[in-house]
Amino acid sequence: MKISDKTVNKLRKNIAGYTFMLPLIIGVSVFSFWPIISSLIYSFHKYDGFMTYEYIGFRNYVDLFKHDIDGLGKVLSNTFIFAAGSVILSLSLSYLLALSVSKQSKGVYAIRVLFYIPCVIPGVVMAAMWADLLAENGAFNSIFTSLGLPKFAFLDSPETSMITLFITGLWGLGGGMILWLAAFNNIPRTMYEAAEIDGAKSFTKFVKITIPMTTPTIFYNMITGVIGSLQYNGTLMLAPNSGRGYENSIYFISVKIYRDAFIRMKFGYASAAAWILFVIIGVLVIIMFRTSKWVFYGEE
Amino acid sequence: MKKTFRKLTGMLLVAALCLTCAVACGPNPGRTPSNGDYEAGITLDPNISANLKIGFYENTDVKQHFEELEKAFQLRYPNVSISIANYGSESYYMDLMQEYNTNNMPDIIQTNATESFPLMEAGLLLDMDNFIQLENEKYVENKAKDPEFFQFENFEDQFYESLWKLGQKNYDGHQYFIPRSADRIVVYYNREQFIAAGVDMTTVRNGWTWEDFLAACEKLKIYYAANYSGKPFISGQWQWEAVLFPMLESAGGKVFDANGNITLNSPETLNAVNLLKDLVVKGYTKEKDPNSLAFETGTAAMQFASLYPDYYIKNLGENLGIVTFPLIGRQSGDTVDYSNAKIGAGITGYGIFSGLTGEKRELAWQFLSFSLSREGQECMAKGGVTQPPIRKDMQDGSNLWRQNKGNLNLDAFFWGSERNYSTNFFIVHEPSKQVDLMQAVINMFNEPIRGSGKDPQQAVSDCVNVLDGIIKSN
């Protein structure tokens, strides 16, 4: 095949651009594209990471739904409950937090910093810290005991473990707060002034201006929140029973993928579970986009 | 036309990329395993020049014991060097997998009695029977020449059989790894506190029974109430299979029958679960130890452990006492029968990578064989391995591991070795299910002593359901 002079000239002209792009293309191909394809291929194989590597078609997928060692249904329902609870709680509370610190007043910057500081703490440190705080004889229970209150089981009971996770998740509200504050700042002041001239009260301004004008950020936070919480595996470092919680009460799909791959040495099976998670996330994201008419992107 | 051409070219490129990835993504087969089907030799040229790479997972610094072994081994094979790769216990399999797929596997692989099954199943460990057979023959020949020096029946007879077998497939078959030392659960106790509590010290001897142990606990409870605000005094190890499963076995509970059917739901199992629950109910111990250093720091009177005394001597000095794990009997009419009482035991050891061939494979065996010799065991003791030697002829005080231990009852590590028990109930099912099966039974013991405390019978019934699910799963 002969490459035309025009194409060659175009290549020459853009060679610098292509060269700049090359490291990224190679990086994405090797570190993202390759593992994605690998895991898809593994998911159709019985693969232990060493010598066993045999094609078994869809058996991993069938077994996941029919004969899973942990009960995929239970794991998925835990994951959905956690995702729903944590996204709703963190979105709404961080929104309210941002609203409360959005007005310019004395000390507001200090409060913002205080709320944001926890987001700077690395995950491992945070997990170790929570494990200590929530332990049977940890700081929280010591306070309860000193006040004459009974000890709380936190992560040590199947009844209280999920709610404990929701509460620990609120630690990172400051991250969401920053995004909301940025969104609030982008709302033109003139809109509020016009509304005030029309006699609008604070609540009306909030409902009619603030919320509609921040819907793109709400939508963005919702999408990333759902994806992040469905992939949550922080319990690995925090929860008892090897990250699953007692009676598998906080056993999430990402933890299951990790256990299947690196403890049970079933890489094909774990890859199939990862692809199921991918499909679930994909479907949810598509649904969210399809139903996103409520998001206001300005005059179109 | 141009657009179509561009689209076609784009599609072709994507297809080519996918195909390349598909081919590249298949696992690297590494070196071909040669399990069982190989010719062994034990007459290696001493001038062989090679490096042996040893992979291990222990977090403790074992570098020194390999250095000591290397120095002594080089007197026989001067051109052989040893390099070590510490992978860390948490990521051991992942690291080995990475090494395998990059053709960089260690020649000698560390493993232990309960975690060796996945490695055997994956075909990574060499079946060492051919070498052992040759060593046995050589030993018998030597014994004919010098029966006084060669006092055992054959090569294998030099080691504790119950521990040696733990390196075999299903603990009774082909040898896939060899023990480094003899590890066993013993009871460490604070002698000063025992005496102050008024415990009848004549009962605290090797082979003491669960009833003796409970009597001591009752005295200690009173002592701790008066001196330590009633704190629990047995530092808990209740997630540890080496403590729990011998209790189950001693009480007569069986998880599976020989065909793999669940037989756990029995009065014997319930007795075993209640043994632990009673310790918690009576306030002797807790599910989790609030202070993991309670025993070392003198705020607990007892601890079940397999660590060798050096670790505790540093803190407790002459107050340290050792005694065997209490024997759990079965009620038989008016008497209690202790003949089936078990004591938890296990081994750490080394296997040979099955992908090794020729002289390198022989060299790896020679190194392991050397580590089993009196000289090798002494080297390890010198280099920091403080567990008792695996050899039967090294119990006496002339050996390094016994020295500087005062009058400590080190016989606790050997007393009644026929009672040694390593967790093995899971071997009737696939190795990939081992972790989950063990965890399910550990949970059965722990649920009644945790939080609100599940009814022991309910814990047993729930465990049966979990085991059933695991067995039926993929």
Tens digits of residue pLDDT in A246-275: 888 999 999 999 988 888 888 999 999 999
Q: Which residues of A touch B122 (CB under 8 A)?
A: 48-52, 265
What whole-number distance in Å separates Cα of residue A156 and Cα of residue A152? 9
- The answer to whether the CB atoms of B436 and A264 lie below 8 A apart is yes
CATH architecture of the domain B184-345+420-472 equals 3-Layer(aba) Sandwich (3.40)
- The answer to whether the CB atoms of A42 and B451 lie below 8 A apart is no
Q: Does A252 touch chain B (CB under 8 A)?
A: no
Q: What is the pLDDT of residue B60?
A: 61
User: By CA distance, what is A46's nearest residue in B?
Assistant: B474
Q: What is the pLDDT of residue B397?
A: 65
Contacts of A12 (CB under 8 A, 6+ apart): none
- Domain spans of chain A? 1-34, 61-294
Query: How confident is the model over A75-84, as pLDDT tens digits?
Result: 999 999 999 9
- The answer to whether the CB atoms of B450 and A264 lie below 8 A apart is no
Q: What is the pLDDT of residue B401?
A: 74
- The answer to whether the CB atoms of B17 and A29 lie below 8 A apart is yes
Q: Would you tell me how many other CB atoms lie within 10 Å of the CB of residue B220?
A: 26
Q: Does A236 touch chain B (CB under 8 A)?
A: no
Query: How confident is the model over A51-65, as pLDDT tens digits?
Result: 888 899 999 999 999
Q: Which residues of B touch A139 (CB under 8 A)?
A: none
Provide block-wise average pLDDT over 10 residues at a time, chain B (474 residues). 66 62 54 68 92 85 82 95 86 87 92 83 90 95 93 93 86 88 90 96 95 96 93 87 93 94 95 95 84 83 86 87 95 89 90 92 96 91 80 78 79 88 85 83 90 86 91 78
Q: Which residues of B touch A49 (CB under 8 A)?
A: 27, 93-94, 97, 100-101, 122
Q: Does B466 touch chain A (CB under 8 A)?
A: no
Q: What is the pLDDT of residue B187?
A: 95
Domain B50-182+347-394 has CATH 3.30.70.270: no
- The answer to whether the CB atoms of A63 and B473 lie below 8 A apart is yes
What whole-number distance in Å separates Cα of residue B111 and Cα of residue B56? 8
Residue B358 to residues B38, B44, B354: CA-CA distances in angstroms? 9, 10, 11
- The answer to whether the CB atoms of A37 and B22 lie below 8 A apart is yes
Comparing C-alpha atoms, which of B58, B57, B62 is closest to residue B93? B57
User: By CA distance, what is B449's nearest residue in A?
Assistant: A156
- The answer to whether the CB atoms of A49 and B100 lie below 8 A apart is yes
SS3 B397: coil
Instruction: Give the one of A34, A69, A136 whose C-beta lies nearest to B21's C-beta.
Output: A34
Rg (CA), chain B: 26
- Domain spans of chain B? 50-182+347-394, 184-345+420-472
Q: What is the pLDDT of residue B16?
A: 58
Q: Does A27 touch chain B (CB under 8 A)?
A: no
What whole-number distance in Å separates Cα of residue B201 and Cα of residue B198? 8
Hey, what amino acid is at A167? I
Q: What is the pLDDT of residue B241?
A: 86
- The answer to whether the CB atoms of A50 and B443 lie below 8 A apart is no
Instruction: Give the one of B27, B124, B436 whose C-beta lies nearest to A47's C-beta.
Output: B27
SS3 B207: coil
Query: How confident is the model over A189-226, as pLDDT tens digits?
Result: 999 999 999 999 989 999 999 999 999 999 999 999 99
What whole-number distance in Å separates Cα of residue B306 and Cα of residue A205? 69
Instruction: Give the one of A59, A64, A69 whose C-beta lies nearest to B436's C-beta.
Output: A69
Shortest CA gap B29–chain A (Å): 6
Q: Which residues of A touch B124 (CB under 8 A)?
A: 50-51
Q: Does B288 touch chain A (CB under 8 A)?
A: yes
Q: Which residues of B touch A57 (CB under 8 A)?
A: none
Q: Which residues of A touch B435 (CB under 8 A)?
A: 263-264
What number of helices (H) and strands (E) belong to chain A?
A: 17, 2
Q: Which residues of A touch B94 (CB under 8 A)?
A: 49, 262
A·B CB contacts under 8 A: 95
Classify burial at B136, counting beta carbons within 10 Å of its beta carbon; exposed 0-12, middle 13-18, buried 19 or more. Answer: middle
Q: Which residues of B touch A269 (CB under 8 A)?
A: 474
Q: Does A157 touch chain B (CB under 8 A)?
A: yes
Instruction: Give the one of B18, B30, B439 whose C-beta lies nearest to A242's C-beta.
Output: B439
- The answer to whether the CB atoms of A50 and B30 lie below 8 A apart is yes
User: By CA distance, what is B453's nearest residue in A?
Assistant: A157
Q: Does B88 touch chain A (CB under 8 A)?
A: no
- The label of the residue with tokens 């580590």 reads B371
ipTM of predicted complex:
0.71
Fold category of A61-294 in CATH:
MetI-like fold (1.10.3720)
Query: How confident is the model over A113-152, as pLDDT tens digits?
Result: 999 998 888 888 888 888 889 887 788 988 998 999 988 8
Q: Which tokens belong to B11? A: 């599609």
